[in-house]
Amino acid sequence: LGYMRGFGNEFSSEDPRCPGSLPEGQNSPQVCPYGLYAEQLSGSAFTCPRPANKRSWLYRILPSVKHKPFTLVPCGDLTENWDEVEPDPNQMRWLPFTVPKSTDKKVDFVAVRSSYHLWCRKQQIPKLVLSCFRCFNNSDGDFLIVPQQGEILVTTEFGKMMVEPNEICVIQQGMRFSVDVFGETRGYILEVYGAHFELPDLGPIGANGLANPRDFLYPVAWYEDRKVPTGYTVINKYQGKLFACQQDFSPFNVVAWHGNYAPYKYNLKNFMVINCVAFDHADPSIFTVLTAKSTKPGVAVADFVIFPPRWGVADHTFRPPYYHRNCMSEFMGLIEGHYEAKEEGFLPGGASLHSIMTPHGPDADCFEKNCTAELQPERVAEETMAFMFESSFSMAVTKWGLQTCQKLDKTYHQCWEPLRSHFNPNWKPSKK
């Protein structure tokens, strides 16, 4: 698959089968090349200042408006009712989520919460071939998708992207897409409302570093001129509920597009890691890949943060994460390997949630080891990729997350129980 590069660029793309399909010099010619329809997809208010203004023009075989009415469809475990269970400020950890057997009924999205979804899917089996004629769009917000096991082929109105574990992709509000899997597949989805992801500001870091803009890859135009007399289903998540409508053609009928509102992917291995090179533990904001800013300066609706392989070199320092309580919610997942603060129990495909002001930090084992460890330069998180969805919002966990999934690790709090007091009232500073 071909891609175009550069975060937030103004792209232009034509399916090579139709050279000249992008109108020149204007967006809405009286008649578009190849007899296409022009359709604008707005990702920001028309009047947003230029740096925040997002829209794309799609030149398609039929416009999206040609469809039968939307009707409400069952939402399964997806919920928009945040009061279905009592709030719970405990530290939470989930064992790896089960991938359904191919004999189980098909599962598309399994939600633990609107903002943090987990999905597990098995390869589509031939008898479900009808389900191939289904696509999804989210009218409520943007999805940041983190595959953990199995690659996914994401077909969108803008073209196709293959996304593997250790890559992420972002599908923004309103963009139609479908996902093909090739075996057991599992991952995490962060959904944000009212903001799009941006690269974080770099401040004194300078003009380069962290996730570099040129490493963000955008799909090239690809269309299918496919009639589907049996009906193509468009599923629309709208105000937290799922609605479906039928149309008799493929929605992936965009022959050419231009604009700065498009889905993209990013390989986490391209992240230019910054870390402490003298002493103390830097806050994990240094590992921010993407941020969805709130209107309060410096406060994110959600940050996507990774803990990539790197060198740990800090002198006279307790190197793992510090104990802390945070005014932000911290949801963590593990793509592969081991997380430094918890060698045991936090597993690839599992998750943890440390809610607003819920105390957390290294388990007892990690603490004991690291206060006596000889401090050599060492590789941290080799062959590991943990990540965090950090949000200024307080999270409600759904009934599915607390009960139905049966993955909540009731023993989690025990990892801190062996922590013992080392307090010595007669302690004297050692003579240098």
Ligand X SMILES: O=C(O)Cc1cc(O)ccc1O
330 makes contact with ligand X (CB under 6 A)? yes
Q: Which strands make up the sheet holding 159-163, listed edge to edge?
A: 71-73, 241-249, 227-238, 134-138, 177-181, 152-156, 159-163
DSSP, collapsed to helix, strand or coil, labels residue 416 as helix
Minimum Å distance from CB 209 to ligand X? 18
Does 289 engage in binding with ligand X (CB under 6 A)?
Answer: no
309 forms part of the interface with ligand X (CB under 6 A): no
161: contact with ligand X by CB under 6 A = no
> Angle CA(358)–CA(361)–CA(364) in degrees, nearest 5?
125
User: Looking at 117, 196, 281, 354, which residue is catalytic?
Assistant: 281
Secondary structure (3-state) at 132: helix
Q: List binding-site positions for Fe cation.
A: 324, 330, 360
Count of positions on this chain that bind ligand X (CB under 6 A): 8
Q: Is 340 in the site for Fe ion (CB under 5 A)?
A: no
Q: Residue 183: left (phi > 0), alpha (psi -120 to 50), or beta?
A: left
**Which residue's CB atom is positioned nearest to ligand X?**
321
Segment 15 to 74, residues that bind ligand X, using CB under 6 A: none
For position 330 contacting Fe ion by CB under 5 A, the verdict is yes
Residue 284 binding: pick among Fe ion, ligand X, none (C-beta 5-8 Å cut-off by kind): ligand X
Sheet strands side by side (includes 37-42):
11-14, 254-259, 55-60, 37-42
Distance CA 78, CA 59 (A): 33
Q: Does residue 93 bind ligand X (CB under 6 A)?
A: no
Touching Fe ion, residues 118-137 (CB under 5 A): none
Tell me how far apart the alpha carbons of residues 307 and 285 are, in angstroms, rounded to a whole number: 10
Task: Report in angstroms how near the CB of residue 267 gets to ligand X at its nearest.
Answer: 22
Question: Least distance (Å) from Fe ion to the CB of residue 321?
Answer: 6
- Token digits for 25? 């010099």
281 is catalytic: yes
Residues 371-410, interacting with ligand X (CB under 6 A): 388
Closest by alpha carbon to 416, among 93, 69, 23, 31? 93
Shortest distance, CB of residue 167 to ligand X, whole angstroms? 22
Give the helix ranges, DSSP H, for 307-422.
Answer: 364-372, 399
- Contacting residues toward Fe ion, per CB under 5 A: 330
- Contacting residues toward ligand X, per CB under 6 A: 284, 321, 324, 330, 341, 354, 360, 388
